[in-house]
Amino acid sequence: MKNIVIIGYGKGIGLATAKILSGHHKIIGISRTGNPELQHPNIEFHRMDIISGNLDDIAFPEVVDGLVYAPGSINLKPFNRLSHDDFKNDFEINVLGAVKVIQKLLPNLKKSESASIVMFSSVAAKTGMPFHTSVAASKSAVEGLTKSLAAELSSHKIRVNAIAPSLTDTDLASQLLSTPEKRESSARRHPLQRIGHADEIGEMAAFLISDKSSWITGQVFGVDGGMGSVKL
């Protein structure tokens, strides 16, 4: 049984990933959302805002085999309406939070025989989309962090990969999917004619954490209904 830390465990993709992994692994779930819906004997839950919280307050296992960093942001505005704070907040959530956790857990990850780190980018980092400048900038930084860490940590047999979803049916995207018309319009923009589900992204995260992906590192996987690579 591996020890897997999931940041952003309370909802969406983080929760979906925990559901998949908790049957066979010990999960240390961290989220600012209290009372997560998933209760399981293999899950140890800590309520904490990863940006402002003190990770020293959590007694992590000596060996950590996997880390999933799932917090994210959707801050869609015209460029001239984005403030410096908007850019700073997106960067802090998507990049600096991941840096904070990885630096904290790196000694524990190094003690694993096959550690894996999974982060999240966005289809918008690869595909230019209007109103996405802030989130695309921070998610592009996640992709750079992924590749650089994959190179630096390869000598420790720590794999680092990222997933780049398109619009996924989670609470984070609720405003974009708040009416049947918005859902239909969003679905039509994807080559596969639908939006994604958290479980689908969670399955990819679980695969990248598992030993089935033991020869994969430094990759960014588009799980996006074809949005990032197919033009109809």
Tokens 């307050």 locate to 57
CB 71 within 8 A of CB 9: no
* Residue 63 covered by a domain: yes
Tokens 């929760």 locate to 15
Q: For residue 54, give its domain range.
A: 3-166+197-223
Give strand pairing partners of 196.
Answer: 168
* Residue 127 covered by a domain: yes
* Residue 178 covered by a domain: no
- DSSP H or E stretch at residue 220: strand 220-223
Give the pLDDT score at 174: 65
* Residue 177 covered by a domain: no
- What is d(CA 34, CA 100) in angstroms, rounded to the nearest whole number? 21
Q: What are phi and psi of 160, to 5 degrees?
A: -135, 120
Number of folded domains that form the chain: 1
Give the closest residue to 223 by CA, choosing from 199, 97, 66.
Answer: 199
For residue 112, the domain's CATH number is 3.40.50.720
Q: What are phi and psi of 19, to 5 degrees?
A: -60, -40
pLDDT one digit per residue (tens) for the chain, 232 residues: 999 999 999 889 999 999 999 999 999 999 998 666 778 899 999 999 999 999 999 999 999 999 999 998 888 999 999 999 999 999 999 999 999 999 999 999 999 999 999 999 999 999 999 999 999 999 999 999 999 999 999 999 999 999 999 988 877 766 766 788 878 887 788 889 998 999 999 999 999 999 999 999 999 999 999 999 998 7
- E-only strand ranges, 35-166: 43-47, 66-69, 115-120, 158-165
Give the pLDDT score at 115: 98
* Residue 86 covered by a domain: yes
